[in-house]
Structure 1
Amino acid sequence: MIVRLCAATLGLCLLHGAMVQAQDVFDSAQSLGRGINVLGYDPLWSDPAKARFTPELFKVIAAGGFQTVRVNLQAFAHMDAHDRLDPQWLHSLDAVVQQASAAGLKVILDEHDFHPCAQNAETCRSRLLAFWGQVAVRFRDAPGTVLFEALNEPSGKLTVAKWNALLAEVLATIRQSNPQRGVIVGPAKGNYFTALPDLQLPDTDRHLIVTLHYYNPFSFTHQGAPWTRADIRDQHDVHWGDQASRSKLYHEFDVIADWARAHDRPVLLGEFGAYEAAPTADRLAWTIAVVNAAEKRHFAWAYWQFEGSFGAYDLAQGHWNEAIHKALVASDGAWKR
């Protein structure tokens, strides 16, 4: 019997006394550090001339204390009837990866089409496999600082069983051209942490980073958001920050950390944030608490999002939203290896 000894929080895995490839993925996950979500809803993808996000902003993000950008790609809308990606869209993607990399940032290519996948699992399967068949080959020679994320928040018609089956196919597609690239994967049910026990990963693939999204309590983080259900949309002045709510948050992060140790997988907190309608002081307190909880447990993270109603940056004024920005990056980052 092979005896495998792991100290997951250090990314240290020994097999017969020799370092194995799991070391690489723990280092890769840790190096993602502090990240931010970008470009999900920018006109860039349909008409680069109308882009709100300019290449110089990658330098602003790096100078602002972030190490990674999670690029939200809604690529299905840019596929033809044969699931071929629009060449102009691919050209824009090439430019984004080059510009972010030149600014010293790591890049996560996040296939973000969770809405169409939730509505039709079969169409999702066809398009997702076609997407990775094209994008993985295109970036097969990219540096290891470019990572792939299989699919954002699988949910709805993409059930646990269907997602596990599709994920196996996606990984097989990616591994044909990128056998050792870091790939980010998350559980069904919207990347929610309670679905972790249902996530099936190939034991032999030691280049996977598991992602979770955290918006608890939803009644606080999404109060007043017009796209949510009525009972959340119509709420206002929902507060957060008493001892009970803090204890619950830390407990939920402990549950994630316990799973990560038991399964010897690194974790990326791929999204978290509170909508701008939340009471300002409580929104900042919640953000700080999530950052501290993640970093204490050695999880890299990516805030949702750079601009917009959760945004850390004011595009119109050309500066960081100071309070949110400080809440995200004010600590010294001593947690990082």
Structure 2
Amino acid sequence: MKKSGLILVILILVSHFKINAQNYNTNEYAFSQNEKLGRGVNIIGYDPIWNDFSKGRMKEKHFKLIKEAGFSNVRVKISPFRFSMDDAYTIDPKFFSTLDWIIKEALKNNLIPIVDFHEHGAMEKDPIGTKPMFLAMWKQIAEHCKDLPNEVLFEIANEPNMKPELWNEIHHEAYKIIRSSNPNRTLIIGTIYGNQINYLKDLELPENDRNIIVAIHYYSPIQFTHQGAPWSTKNKDLSGITWTNTEKEEQDVNRDFDVAQNWSKEHNRPLTLGEFGAYEKADMASRVRWTNYVARQAEARNWSWSYWQFDSDFIVYDIDKDQWNTPIKEALLPIEKKN
């Protein structure tokens, strides 16, 4: 090949790679990633697998079942604080062994895994005190996962329950740490106080980075979704509250979702509904109606979603009985009627 021809090939290749690199940092790419996320479910939140792999409730077959049911993402709840081994917050290698297995099984079944840093309880109690551990652990996780495909997403923190100015400071520091090793990774950043929609207005994101999806959660009306839940102080003694698709009930959901959608359009950022669900103490018919309505309204606005959750509580799958919670599953993934 002549020298001029070689130079031309090199220029074409350089141009191609530049275009590809730029594509990671466009709104189109983030929205495309969000579309691929589609419908999903939260997994392995309270599974003993984290402490002893041999005692894990989640097995290989469950990833296959999730995919075959029609889900396309799994939001993986990680709680690494308890795996700190020293003053430098070095993460115990067994944590990474389990995380690697989860990600491998998800990808093997064409499920997009969201690595969700789920330490909101400890961070809420002491956001400043836990900040060094939070940042040190994200550095390790990001570097450990840096060579994984872009189908693996990072969610910087679940439900950061702290003042907005503090959360904006902390997530920006974590963002810089993650981006240093994962420049093209799609990130998910959520709002404060339970990822509530009303706090979207307070979220400050790096304007020049468009490879970000914004997370919101929805459990409204809380008196319905959390009635009888023992951890919900204001709602643990409530019972018998129904949700029946009344015009007002539907309008309340639409009003909330329109606030989020208007924010999304104004800021040109995709949204994911990272959690929603109604606790078991509500009657099943109401749970089905609410779950179906919320999921369909999210989809109508082109949001991805991840139901809370596969196992433990709010379940869509009963691991002990080895069967789907069919009413909830069909509320999430309606069976299309054939003509």
Q: Which has the larger radius of gyration?
A: 2
Other-structure match for 1:138: 144
Report the Cα offset of residue 331 of structure 1. Answer: 5.8
Other-structure match for 1:27: 32
SS at match of 1:287: helix
**Are 1:169 and 2:176 matched, yes or no?**
no
List aligned pairs for 1:11-26, cutoff 5 A. 21-26=26-31
List aligned pairs for 1:234-249, cutoff 5 A. 234-241=237-244, 242-249=246-253
1:53-91, Cα deviation, whole Å (9 max, x unpaired): 112110010001100000000110111232110011111
Whether the 8 Å contact between 1:160 and 1:189 is mirrored in structure 2 is no
1:14-65, Cα deviation, whole Å (9 max, x unpaired): xxxx987221111001110001000010001111011111121100100011
Cα distance in 2 for partners of 1:80, 1:308 equals: 28
List aligned pairs for 1:41-190, cutoff 5 A. 41-81=46-86, 82-155=88-161, 158-190=162-194
SS at match of 1:235: coil
TM-score by length of 1: 0.91
**In the superposition, relative to structure 1, how do residues 234 and 89 fare at CA in structure 2: closer, same or farther (>3 Å)?**
same
Other-structure match for 1:273: 277
Other-structure match for 1:11: none
Return the letter of the residue paired with 1:66: F
SS at match of 2:332: helix
Other-structure match for 1:225: 229
Return the letter of the residue paired with 1:78: F
SS at match of 1:211: strand
Structure 2 unmatched runs, 5+: 1-21
More helix, by proportion: 2
Cα distance in 1 for partners of 2:129, 2:143 equals: 22
Cα distance in 1 for partners of 2:127, 2:335 equals: 42
Report the Cα offset of residue 100 of structure 1. Answer: 1.1
Whether the 8 Å contact between 1:257 and 1:297 is mirrored in structure 2 is yes
Other-structure match for 2:214: 210
Other-structure match for 2:13: none
Return the letter of the residue paired with 1:308: S
Return the letter of the residue paired with 2:224: F
TM-score by length of 2: 0.90
Other-structure match for 1:37: 42
Other-structure match for 1:193: 197
Cα distance in 2 for partners of 1:331, 1:316 equals: 25
**In the superposition, relative to structure 1, how do residues 331 and 130 fare at CA in structure 2: closer, same or farther (>3 Å)?**
farther
Report the Cα offset of residue 145 of structure 1. Answer: 0.7
Cα distance in 1 for partners of 2:335, 2:305 equals: 14
Cα distance in 2 for partners of 1:324, 1:210 equals: 25
Cα distance in 1 for partners of 2:61, 2:137 equals: 28
Q: What is the aligned-residue identity percentage?
A: 38
Cα distance in 2 for partners of 1:87, 1:123 equals: 24
SS at match of 1:232: coil
My pick for the range that moved more, 297-306 or 22-31, is 22-31
1:89-131, Cα deviation, whole Å (9 max, x unpaired): 1111111111111111100000000000000112321111111
Whether the 8 Å contact between 2:46 and 2:312 is mirrored in structure 1 is no
Return the letter of the residue paired with 2:110: G
Cα distance in 1 for partners of 2:335, 2:90 equals: 44
